[in-house]
């Protein structure tokens, strides 16, 4: 299991424990943090957040809603990606 902390910039919004294979958006919900979603399959990018620290399991190939440059900026599609350990997530996506 992983611990995920959710931030808006420097403001801590909530903390929750992630179950195995649980998408970040569901972990956020447990922490009382709302992340908008639309397709829930990694296509639209509505759920894009930013990894501040820690590790995320990125699928190979990347889903259509994410590209290499977004990943380099910490981009994570919270609807279909999971924490690989303790991590900090900023709900403000990379620009």
What would the pLDDT profile of 55-87 be if each residue is shown by its tens digit?
998 988 999 999 999 999 999 999 999 999 999
Work out the pLDDT band at 90, boundaries 50, 70, 90.
very high
Task: Give dist(CA 60, CA 8) in Å, integer.
Answer: 28
Which CATH architecture describes the domain 2-90? Roll (3.10)
For the cut 80, the answer to whether the pLDDT of residue 93 exceeds it is yes
- The secondary structure of 17-70 as a DSSP string is EEPTT--HHHHHHHTT-----SSSSSSS-TTEEEEEES-EE--SSPPTT--HHH
- What pTM, to 2 d.p., does this model score? 0.93
Instruction: Report CA dihedral (68, 71, 76, 79) to the nearest 10 degrees.
Output: 10
Average pLDDT on 9-17 reads 98
Read off the pLDDT of residues 39-55 as tens digits, 9 standing for 90 and up: 888 999 999 999 999 99
- Domain extents for the chain? 2-90
């Amino acid at each position: 299991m992983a611990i995920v902390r959710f931030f808006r910039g420097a403001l801590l919004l909530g903390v929750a424990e992630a179950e195995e294979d649980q998408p970040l958006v569901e972990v956020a919900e447990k922490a009382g943090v709302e992340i908008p979603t639309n397709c829930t399959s990694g296509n639209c990018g509505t759920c894009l957040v930013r990894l501040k620290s820690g590790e995320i399991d990125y699928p190979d190939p990347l889903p259509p809603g994410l590209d290499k440059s977004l990943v380099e900026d910490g981009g994570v599609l919270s609807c279909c990606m999971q924490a690989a350990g303790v991590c900090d997530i900023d709900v403000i996506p990379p620009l």
